[in-house]
Amino acid sequence: MATLTLLLLLSAAFTLGDIMTVNKANELVKFAADQRNPCPRGWFQFNSRCFMFVRTSRTWPNAERHCQLLGEKLKPVHNTVKYLGANLASVHSYEESQFLQAVVLIATGSFPLTWIGGFDAVQDRLWFWSDGSKFDHESWAEGEPNNHNGAREPCIQINFGEPV
């Protein structure tokens, strides 16, 4: 079964690794796909999970709700995949964070700030994924999260700054 997860354009707190080019991004995405459990057209696959980049700017709560609404509209692929819904992307490994950056690069040609599903709305610095999965990977950009200018930063973004 594939769980669908969405990326939505907006913001960042995970670091970029090696400089990624569009060619490297396409290779990474192609390598990650599992042909036995295909994702819907327009989605990118990492192992058993499907991801989509959406360009429309939204607040984090509105982006999460948009993902959930998109997930409700998905139809199962006969005899292969039953979709379990959609949320902003959760990240569980360095490889998966690189994959998500590759998806954004392929979709936009650059590294715009992009919301993912991490939030700490319950208690400052106690992080959760919006899809309910375990928060088992973090690779914060140096000095992040920092509640810049005293404004609380309760949501996670990728592509913080330029590629390293």
CA distance 43 to 98: 16
- In sequence order, the 6+-apart residues with CB closer than 8 A to the CB of 66 are 6, 8, 54, 56, 58
pLDDT tens for each residue of the chain, 164 residues long: 343 344 443 222 333 345 778 788 777 777 666 666 677 778 888 988 889 999 999 999 999 999 999 888 877 655 555 566 899 999 999 999 999 999 999 999 998 989 999 999 777 678 999 999 999 998 888 888 888 788 888 899 898 655 54
pLDDT in the model for residue 159 = 86
Looking at residue 85, its pLDDT comes to 81
pLDDT of residue 13: 31
pLDDT of residue 94: 92
21 Cβ neighbours under 8 A, 6+ residues apart: none
Pairing between strand 3-9 and 49-54? parallel
Q: Given this model, what pLDDT does residue 78 score?
A: 53
